[in-house]
Amino acid sequence: MTGTAHGFPLRAAATVLASSVAWTGAFAGAKDESAAPWLAPKWFNAWHDGLANKGLNFGATYIADNIGNATGGVARGAIHFGRLDLSVDADLDKLVGWTGGRFYANAFVIYGRGLSRNYVHNLATISEIEALPDRRLYNAYFEQSFFNDRLNIRAGQQAADVEFFDSQTDDLFVNGTFGWPAIKAFNLPAGGPAPPIAVPGIRIKAALTDKITAYGAVFNGDPSGPGDVDPQLRDRHGLAFRVNDPPWVIGQVRFSYDIDIGGRPLAGNFTPGAWKHYGSFDSQRFTAQGQSIADPDGSGIPARLRGNYGIFAVIEQVLYRPPSVTETSTSASLPGVTAFGRIAYSPPDRNLIDLYMDGGIGFVGFTPGRPLDRFGVAMAYMRISNTARNLDIDTNFYTGVAGPVRSKETLIEMIYEAHIKPGWLIAPYFQYVFRPSGGVPNPNDPTGISRIGDAAVFGVTTTIRY
C-alpha cells in the first residue's frame, strides 16, 4: 500500500526477527491476535488499551520485504525495503456520544528501492508495499452508520482497493495485483485511488438484505494531477487533496450464498461491478490525425479519447471446512480451503490492458501443530490490448527493427504465512513472471531485438502489528 525515511526502530527489530524463522515452533497453536503486546512494556499496553476502550485506538503496522530477482528481468540482485503504517481510529460514539460516527486516518513511512521498478520492469508489482521513499498521508476520512449499520457513508481521503474488486482470500498474497489489479493500476490516471496514493471521495455501502450488499463511490479521477514526472512525486506527501478533476465512479453488488455439500453449508459470494471515468485518455495507437504514433511523418502525439470504463466480477467460494468449524463465512482466517477468481475488461483503444484475470486458492490450518498458518498459490493474467500490440508492429515497420511485440504478462505466486507470535507474521514466497510488461524490448540489448526475460523472484515478508 511513498523525503526518504531510514532508521526508525522497528526496521532494525524486524530485520533481526526475520532471521528467526526457525523459531516458529515455539509458538505453535498460539491464539491469533491482531496486535503484538509483547513489543511494549505492560504500562504502555495498559495506557494504549485504556484509550482504545474510550474510543481512541492508535495502531502501527511494519512490513519489511527482503526479495531478490534470480533470473530474467533487467537486473539480478536482492534488496530490502519496507513501510511503517501509523494509524488513529476514533469511535465517536465512545468519545463524544456521536452514534454511528467514526474517524480514521493513517500515514506511511516508506523507504528502500522497489524490485519491480528497478530489477524486473513488470506490470504486476512484485510487492504490494513497493513505492517511492516518502512520508505520506494516506487515509483521512469520516464515516457514519445508520439503521443498525445497514447503511454506511464514508467521506474524505480514501482508497478503493480494500472494498472494490476484492476478495478475502487474495489478501494472503504479496503481489500488488492481488490487492489492486494491474488493469486498474495501469489504465486509470496515476494508478487510481490505491496504495500509496488515496484521493478525496464519497463511498456508500448498503446492506439491502442479509445476503445482498451494494457499494457505490465517486472519487476524484486523478490522484496527483497532470504532469510528466512520476505521480508519487507530483503528490509528494499525500496532501494534494484534489477535487476538481473529472470524477471516477465505481459500483458493485455482492451476493452472498451458501452451497450445501455433504449436508453442511459452505459460504460463497459473487460480486459483479463496473466503473466509469469522465476524463480524457490517450489513444494506444493513433494521433488526432489518424496516423500511427510511430509514423515519423506524424505528430507522434496520441489522440485524446473522451471517457473510459470497465466491467468486472469476483467470485469467492469455500471448498472445505473441518467438521469442528460451524461458522459459515468466507473469512480467510478460518480453517479450511477457500478459492477466488476475478475477471475485468476495459476497451482496447484507450487502455494498455484490456483483459485481466486472476485466481487462487488458500489453505488454513493444514500444518500439524500450527492451526493459524496459511499457504496458497495464485495466478494472474494481463492481456496487452490489440491496439497497443499494433503500435508495436507499427514501430517495427517504421524503424526497420524486428523488435518484440507485446502480448501478455502472466504471474504465478506461491506463499506460506507463518504466525510466529500474536501480531508477528513471516511469509516466504516465490513468484515467477512470464513476459514482463507483456514482452517489451530489453533496455540492456542495444539492438532492440530481444525482450526482457522471464523473472524468478524469491522473497520473505515480515509483518509486525501493534
Each residue of 200-231: pLDDT tens digit?
A: 999 999 999 999 999 999 999 999 988 888 99
Instruction: Please determine, for residue 37, whether its predicted confidence score (pLDDT) is greater than 90.
Output: no
Percent helix, strand and coil across the chain, each to the nearest 5: 15, 45, 35
Alpha helices, H only, 219-353: 231-234
Instruction: Please determine, for residue 360, whether its predicted confidence score (pLDDT) is greater than 50.
Output: yes
Q: Identify residue 283 by its one-letter amino acid code.
A: S
Long-range contacts, 229-232 (Cβ 8 Å, 24+)? 230/132, 231/189, 231/190, 231/191, 231/197, 232/2, 232/131, 232/132, 232/134, 232/196, 232/197
Q: What is the CA radius of gyration of the chain?
A: 23
Instruction: Please determine, for residue 18, whether its predicted confidence score (pLDDT) is greater than 70.
Output: no
What's the pLDDT score for residue 4?
Answer: 31
- Band of residue 29 on the pLDDT scale cut at 50, 70, 90: very low
Mean pLDDT of 15-33: 31
- Band of residue 378 on the pLDDT scale cut at 50, 70, 90: very high
Task: Pick the range with the lowest mean pLDDT from 27-41, 175-189, 196-210, 416-430.
Answer: 27-41
By the 8 A CB rule, do 124 and 117 touch?
Answer: no
Residues in a beta bridge with 87: 59, 106
Give the model confidence (pLDDT) of 249-301 as tens digits.
Answer: 999 999 999 998 877 899 999 999 999 999 999 999 999 999 999 999 999 99
Domain boundaries, the chain: 9-465
Q: How far apart are CA 165 and CA 345, in angstroms?
A: 12
Q: How far apart are CA 377 and CA 368, in angstroms?
A: 19
Q: How far apart are CA 236 and CA 240, in angstroms?
A: 8
**Which of 64, 120, 183, 166 has the alpha carbon at shortest distance from 432?**
120
Instruction: Please determine, for residue 307, whether its predicted confidence score (pLDDT) is greater than 50.
Output: yes
Instruction: Please determine, for residue 79, whether its predicted confidence score (pLDDT) is greater than 50.
Output: yes
Instruction: Please determine, for residue 11, whether its predicted confidence score (pLDDT) is greater than 70.
Output: no
What's the pLDDT score for residue 12?
Answer: 31
Mean pLDDT of 345-363: 98
The average confidence (pLDDT) of the chain is 91
Q: Would you identify the CATH topology of the domain 9-465?
A: Porin (2.40.160)
By the 8 A CB rule, do 452 and 439 touch?
Answer: yes
List, as one string, the DSSP characters of 227-253: -SS-HHHHTTTS-----SSPEEEEEEE
pTM above 0.75, yes or no: yes
- Band of residue 22 on the pLDDT scale cut at 50, 70, 90: very low
- Band of residue 34 on the pLDDT scale cut at 50, 70, 90: low
